[in-house]
A and B are shown apart, each in its own frame.
Chain A
């Protein structure tokens, strides 16, 4: 893990460059992308999807009505919420996108209900007992990298999931 040596926006291209400049100017002056030179290892799905236990992890800021909302301050929020696979009503708190569509149809960013339907229809073996929800604006990722992220990884392993599906917003 590391960041290139200079603070120049020219290190990045496309939306990565636009977002870098925007966040540094308006929200978090020391923001930088966390970059890697090598890909993380890939572990193949060990059984057919029709037999697999699939877990949803999403960064749309979804939470249950009785769970605390995410912190929408400039410092971001690296915490997470656990939602049962049969979760019904959802709330969304996120600074980076317009949550109106998600409130109308949660499947657009948090497809737990759709995954339930695919399970019922036999396309997926089963849903993991819980899904995990983060809020995607995390300009200082150290707590995510060293605390909450590994904590959720441990819970996914404890749930014996075969595949983690990650959905951004």
Chain B
């Protein structure tokens, strides 16, 4: 995701991305990333959870209007507490 964003940044496009893993974004350093700590495959939230999907998207889009410096990673404050799926994914024990 960050590699694509860097390409778009280099072409002069305004961009904002969601990232699920801060340490990967720190390796790639795109112009502006928004950290959402949800499981892989559930980036915006659980299936059918429209309220969370909207909240994530609104928060991410709102950051695009802010005067962040290049390379900023904004923690949007979304965490996953439904189960241990994300933790297992981060240990490569689930996908």
Interface residue ranges, A against B (CB under 8 Å)? 12-16, 18-19, 22, 33-46, 48-49, 54, 57, 59-60, 96-102, 104-105, 107-109, 111, 114-115, 118, 123-124, 134, 136, 138, 141, 144-145, 149-150, 152-154, 156-157, 161-169
CB distance from A48 to the nearest CB of B (A): 7
Supply 10 further A-B pairs (C-beta < 8 A) apart from A108-B44, A168-B17: A41-B10, A42-B31, A42-B70, A49-B65, A59-B4, A108-B43, A157-B11, A164-B16, A166-B5, A166-B15
CB distance from B80 to the nearest CB of A (A): 12
Is B9 touching A163 in the complex (CB atoms < 8 A)? no
Interface residues of B in 40-84 (CB under 8 A from A): 40-48, 50, 53-54, 57-58, 60-62, 64-65, 67-72
Total A-B residue pairs with C-beta atoms closer than 8 Å?
A: 206
**Residue on A nearest B44 in the bound complex, by CB:** A108
Interface residue ranges, B against A (CB under 8 Å)? 1, 3-24, 27-32, 40-48, 50, 53-54, 57-58, 60-62, 64-65, 67-72, 90-92, 95
The CA of A102 and the CA of B45, in the complex, are separated in Å by 11
CB distance from B60 to the nearest CB of A (A): 7
A45: which B residues are within 8 A, CB to CB?
14, 64-65
Is A109 touching B44 in the complex (CB atoms < 8 A)? yes
Is B48 touching A104 in the complex (CB atoms < 8 A)? yes
Is B1 touching A43 in the complex (CB atoms < 8 A)? no
Is B29 touching A39 in the complex (CB atoms < 8 A)? yes
Is A22 touching B92 in the complex (CB atoms < 8 A)? yes
The CA of A77 and the CA of B65, in the complex, are separated in Å by 33
Is B95 touching A15 in the complex (CB atoms < 8 A)? no
Is B23 touching A134 in the complex (CB atoms < 8 A)? no
Known: A134-B4, A168-B20. A97 touches B40 (CB 8 A): yes
B9: which A residues are within 8 A, CB to CB?
40-43
Known: A145-B3, A156-B8, A167-B18. A41 touches B41 (CB 8 A): no
